[in-house]
A and B are shown apart, each in its own frame.
Chain A
């Protein structure tokens, strides 16, 4: 029974990682850049939702929509101001810029909301009691898993069926050729950032509902874990990000419960190293030939 509850807490934590990882993986797949500011967009999403419910008294659903809207705009603005001018620059320059943006967001949050932690009110509370109270599952865990599945299915459909999705896949394969085929590459990348940032807002709300404490650095560690999850599953692959996130969460929870609480993170990263040694592209990653 304990094993089940550890498994469930692992899956729900993993689902949060998965939603964040989806954002990383989409941006990487299409723009071929690592958006290190992604974790901090999550934090902004959390704060917006917090302000909407606490200061403006808005219902939770509205606060999520508001957070998504703000983060979408933020994502587009970040992309337009910080990354677009560097489209032709070496990828290291973009990476450093992303780190800069991450600092900018953290410190702006520090100025606006202060350093003291704020307590987030979970969007839904309560527990589902099973087997006569022996197994209890938080509703937020169930919600997180459902939201994660819906997002993954939605994104898969979107990228395989819609026109914009096809444009994204074309850009991810070859930007130059896509442009020659009449695809507006810049716009496609902007849309990718918008979607990624909206996902970050959702992830922020779910993360803060699961672990209800909000600080300017709230997003950094989950961001890193999610990046790991994306690499684990095969960066650029949407089902891979999902699988990587869930596995990472489960490994973390079970390692904590049965092996060592202190070594949980080390075990997670050790598994990652083993996976990368055996399968360098990640679990579901595709091998892409680099053109010279």
Chain B
């Protein structure tokens, strides 16, 4: 009996791991079919590939990225620009191996420039291959420093994770200097851990008070009452959440049920919380997040993009869509600066664009005066928004 139980328990554990991965192994064939469909061939157009999770847990990000890129490509092709694009979208389910397969599919298709992958893990995996293949890659939202580390031909449109942690701490130091801060982060996730590390470092440097830190992992992302009780009892009035929106939604719910109402402060992973199905957006009232893009901004560029996106996809674009839109325009600007033509090989285009990138200054949806270092890192000012009546608004 004892042996049987031990065996069964061991099996359960294995099974647990299997189910955890299982969610990624599944894909919707219908979506895949749609994903591979590319716009019809255009004479003299650059072949652009976009990769992101179109199915799976992080589908909301990947779909935003390919949609945003599509809008930019359509705009450019409809304009009188001499640079034209042909876009091919591939699903990677936010998985490194699948992302490499998606990249290889795109290379077979004849891709010259890669816009993607969307998530950090997948982007890091593909970046290594792109570096040895010498293909130019610009990731809209792969924010880990590992994505660009040591690869001269890989660039980011979004902030890197350390920048987000530092930016958040700077913002709090400037606007809420005497806040008692609690942090809840996911310590088996490089994204969350990375932001938390730089945040704590910068908070210390700025003299901010971090009263407590709570952690969770993928397996324990369902119950936060202990972490919240701990934060509440230590008197924290600002809760920093460098995590994705899905666990954040549970935290908001459970804090509300406990009657604990600190200021919640998130980073770009929090983007998407308002689109979570059936989520009571009143819970997110007053949540602050660091995002380079606000759909409510009143400049013409944003208004035009939001209107087109809503018309085409029926929803308000998030930051990922804006990052992808910018990425395509940055590629266009770099091509023009480098004087590339569509009949050049991917490797030649890559060398030309790598040389051109640090010379660019680009004004886009996700920032003014964006510039790039040769390392691939972007420089732009972070912006904090606060959720008010279910939309992002600028804090006053």
Q: Which A residues fall within an 8 A CB radius of B?
A: 1-2, 5-6, 9, 13, 34, 36, 50, 54, 95, 99, 102-103, 106-107, 110-111, 114-122, 125-127, 129, 133, 136, 138, 140, 207, 210-213, 215-218, 220-222, 224, 227-228, 231, 235, 253, 256-257, 261-262, 264-265, 272, 276, 280-281, 287-288, 290
Contacts and interface: CB of A to CB of B under 8 A. Distances in A.
B12 A9 contact: no
B259 interface: yes
A125 B280 CA distance: 13
Interface of B: 1-2, 5-6, 8-9, 11-13, 15-16, 18-20, 22-23, 26, 28, 55-57, 59-60, 187, 214-217, 219-220, 222-223, 225-227, 229-230, 233, 246-247, 249-250, 253-254, 256-259, 276-280
24 contacts: A2-B230, A2-B233, A9-B223, A9-B226, A34-B8, A106-B26, A111-B28, A116-B276, A116-B277, A117-B277, A121-B278, A122-B257, A129-B259, A213-B246, A213-B249, A215-B246, A216-B23, A220-B16, A256-B227, A257-B226, A257-B230, A264-B220, A265-B219, A276-B5
A119 B280 contact: yes
Contacts of B214: 261
Contact of B223 (A114, A211, A216, A288): A211
Contacts, number: 153
A280 B227 CA distance: 34
A133 B246 CA distance: 29
Contacts of B2: 276, 280
Contacts of A211: 222-223, 250, 254
B222 to A, nearest CB: 4
Given A99-B15, A235-B5, A115 B258 contact: no
Contacts of A257: 226, 229-230
Contact of A121 (B16, B28, B222, B280): B280
A102 B12 contact: no
A218 B22 CA distance: 13
Contact of B277 (A95, A119, A256): A119
B224 to A, nearest CB: 8
A280 B5 CA distance: 8
Contacts of A272: 9
Nearest to B4: A91
A221 B280 contact: no
B57 A115 contact: yes
Contacts of A231: 5, 8-9
Contact of A117 (B187, B230, B249, B254): B249
